[in-house]
Every structure is written in structure tokens, then in C-alpha cells.
Amino acid sequence: MALATLTSRVDEMDKVAFDDFCSSVGLTSSAAINMYVKVVVRDRKLPFEVKQVDPFFCAANQAHLLKSIQQLDEGRGTAHELIDDDE
């Protein structure tokens, strides 16, 4: 069976942590990646859940909301009632 090279760029600290983990369980990084590839090909899916996080809860939005709440608490701004679109 012919071998092919798969190249990927990762954060340096992630690579060090990955190499350390693989070593601790008796694998090389290459062997671990080959295992991953074999599982994906065999099962025709990723071996973990991939999902999109609700953007409302992202760090930037939460920081903006907290800043807005603080401004309202300090009397800088106007609080409005929510308007229901269904009416």
C-alpha cells in the first residue's frame, strides 16, 4: 500500500500537548492521526459531535450586554419594553 503525506498546521502549544498525550498512551502523533483517519473512513462521520454554538452566548456579545447593563445601572441610557412582533 502506497503512503501519502497529510500536512496540517496547528498551534504550537496544541502540538506539544498532543505529542505529550500520544506519548503517554504509547502512540506516535502519526499513529494517532492515522487512527483518526481510519475511524472517519470506516464510520463515514467524525468521531465527535460538531455543533455551532449559539452566537448570543459568545464572549463578545456577553461583554457588550454586561457593559450595556452597567451603563443602565449607572443611569446612562434608557430601558425599553420588549416589543412583540406577533401583534
The domain ranges of the chain are 12-43
**Helical ranges in the chain per DSSP H:** 12-24, 29-43, 59-73
Number of residues written out for the chain: 87
Query: Dihedral (C-alpha) 52, 56, 61, 64: value to the nearest 10 degrees?
Result: -170
Confidence at residue 13, expressed as pLDDT on a 0 to 100 scale = 97
Q: What is the pLDDT of residues 33-71, one digit of tens each?
A: 999 999 999 999 999 998 877 888 888 999 999 998 898
Confidence at residue 87, expressed as pLDDT on a 0 to 100 scale = 58
